[in-house]
Amino acid sequence: MLAIAVGLFIQNKLRMDIVALLVMLGFGLTGILTTQEIFAGLSDPNIVLLALLYVVGEALARTGVAYHISDWLMRVAGSSETKVLVLMMLSIGLLGVFMSSTGIVAIFIPVTLAICAGMNISPRRMMMPLSIAGLISGMMTLIATAPNLVTHAELVKAGYQGFVFFSFTPIGLVVLPLGILYMLIARRWLDNCDVQVLAKDDNSMSHLIE
């Protein structure tokens, strides 16, 4: 069953959520899992929390907050690519205090593309810092990324004391400036190829965000 799932993921002909549901259905039909075990994950409060965080992220994107952020970053940074990179990574990292890292990255994809279009920068020079900052933002708080919530839930289930909301914050605050410093050095190896102004193409933006 798992081999079939891996094959479907590799083929990429079906959406990942559809594949996951088919695998869940297959486990139930073959008797490998009981009905209660199949739906146990869906009733987990962590799943509900993550779903709500995605709703918050989508609301921020649809209300135009993403483009206000890009305008603010370009006004503050001026024409300096270095300032944009530092401010963008700081913004993403600190937003991890309030939101999930995946939701933050989803919001900042259109922000980053808008910045690249406005400053005539190749998106590849900003997308890697975006990804790195998103990973680091997951170290900021308990709700910032799913593994934090899962490990907390398992500790509580086992009878141990779980993490508090800011247990991960000291680690994130140390790693964030190191990540920014690394990208300031490593970006010289990211060539400024032909700029593709995706931010002005609604269809391209829709496909990329999906």
Residue 181: which pLDDT band, with cuts at 50, 70 and 90? very high
pLDDT of residue 197: 45
- Checking if the pLDDT of 60 tops 70, the result is no
Residue 202: which pLDDT band, with cuts at 50, 70 and 90? very low
pLDDT of residue 61: 65
Are residues 115 and 84 in contact, defined by beta-carbon separation less than 8 angstroms? Answer: yes
In terms of Cα–Cα distance, which of 132, 96, 89 is closest to 111? 89
Give CA–CA dist 36/34, Å, rounded.
Answer: 5
- Mean pLDDT value across the chain: 80
Q: How far apart, in Å, are the Cα atoms of 193 and each of 56, 75, 129, 200? A: 34, 24, 16, 18
Tens digit of pLDDT for each residue in 98-135? 777 877 887 788 788 888 888 888 888 888 999 999 99
- Checking if the pLDDT of 206 tops 50, the result is no
In this prediction the pTM is 0.65
% of the chain with per-residue pLDDT over 90:
17
Are residues 91 and 69 in contact, defined by beta-carbon separation less than 8 angstroms? Answer: yes
pLDDT of residue 182: 94
